[in-house]
Homo-oligomer: A and B are copies of this chain.
């Protein structure tokens, strides 16, 4: 890279950094509060005579290692139990001491549930998670899925001490947020914070990560140098596990885990594409709601037939369950729509607290009342015999027996009506928490996570079509 280009990047990146890095005051305040919480937890454990149960208490997460963005007020505290402690005692203990600690520091708490229950509390603007896990050594088999987290933290703190790339991590996170591909939850299907940190360490910086992504292909494998050192491994002899994912980044803490497992093909490709665009024409705008701007631009166009299914949702079911079920339902409906010759231009899902939206844009909504059913080739006598028994109006086209058949759904609203009336339960999989039975059908409306074409004046509820 020539100096001029480099300085062009640097100017932009410095401006972004100024905007996204926490201030010294912010960092200091956060450190003091974290320390206080840990001390308070130790106090309570002493008082309650529970110190024998635990190994230690550690702060983890990006705030702990200085890779967090400004205005990120998350503090994650992990209470590490001894390995021989029973799971029930672990649960009981974390609830008892977590509640007390938050209360003693003047905050409010609630109980959240992952693999184990944990305490989530608010103290001022800070959101504090107090999570139980077992203390493991390197290469030990995990007992609960969060046991890895303190080891991730340890690995990153040690590595970032040698290579102080904290700001590069922040830039990558902000860049991915701008593109709408940050977050490893099942709704976002993007890059996790931990993945950002590993990429920056591996490639030695933000711009280098973008440059290296330009030669990524589906199935790209990344093995950090630190892995070879940590495990005292020969580079050529160890056989790493195979994964089917578009990007494979081996977790230094657990070589059988792909840190990028949640990343979808599309988001993998988006990263490659927009990195390329940024490197060619660097601009601050990529870091700030760039995805919304793209969506707005591409949606400024003529539209096909728009249909949205609105399905009432149980708000207690979390997004990581709702989104996969919405997508599963939409895939199942898509298959049925395509079988019935309705061509899909675009589709998407979105859920707010109360409603799941499944939206489609179609090429056409009305088809002639006839279609050509293509049967087996004439050489397959048995297939042909059963075909002509089943269908009238048969004819030969090229080498196949075909028939003109009456179309079941010449109108797409008839099809959606059968979905919401429950008639298509056999052909479409109705998921447990996102069942389209009794859903409302809206015309001229498209809703998804990026962009909603909701014009309530144009809406029309289709019922008993």
Contact = CB atoms under 8 A, between A and B. Distances in A.
A369 interface: yes
Interface stretch (A114-122, A186-194, A297-305, A311-319): A297-305
Contact of A298 (B217, B369, B371, B393): B393
Interface in A379-416: 379, 381, 384, 392-401, 403-404, 406
Interface string A280-307: 0000000000000010011011111100
Contact of A265 (B301, B346, B384, B399): B399
Nearest to A300: B393
Contact of A379 (B272, B368, B400, B404): B272
A406 B276 CA distance: 26
Contact of A341 (B214, B272, B298, B363): B363
A302 B371 CA distance: 9
Contacts of A345: 368, 370-372
A384 to B, nearest CB: 7
Contacts of A216: 379
A270 interface: yes
Counted per complex, copies of this chain come to 2
Given A214-B381, A368-B363, A379-B217, A399 B302 contact: no
A298 to B, nearest CB: 4
Given A266-B399, A273-B401, A393 B297 contact: yes
B298 A266 contact: no
A218 interface: yes
Nearest to A388: B277
A451 to B, nearest CB: 11
B302 A406 contact: yes
Nearest to A214: B381
B266 A302 contact: no
A372 B269 CA distance: 18
B266 A370 contact: no
Nearest to A361: B368
Interface of A: 214, 216-218, 265-266, 269-270, 272-273, 276, 294, 297-298, 300-305, 341, 345-346, 363-364, 366-372, 377-379, 381, 384, 392-401, 403-404, 406
Given A266-B399, A302-B369, 13 more contacts: A214-B381, A217-B379, A269-B378, A270-B378, A272-B379, A298-B395, A298-B403, A300-B393, A301-B370, A303-B370, A304-B368, A305-B368, A364-B368
23 contacts: A265-B398, A265-B399, A266-B397, A269-B378, A269-B398, A269-B399, A269-B400, A272-B378, A273-B396, A276-B381, A276-B384, A297-B393, A298-B395, A298-B404, A301-B370, A301-B404, A302-B369, A302-B406, A303-B370, A304-B370, A341-B363, A346-B372, A363-B367
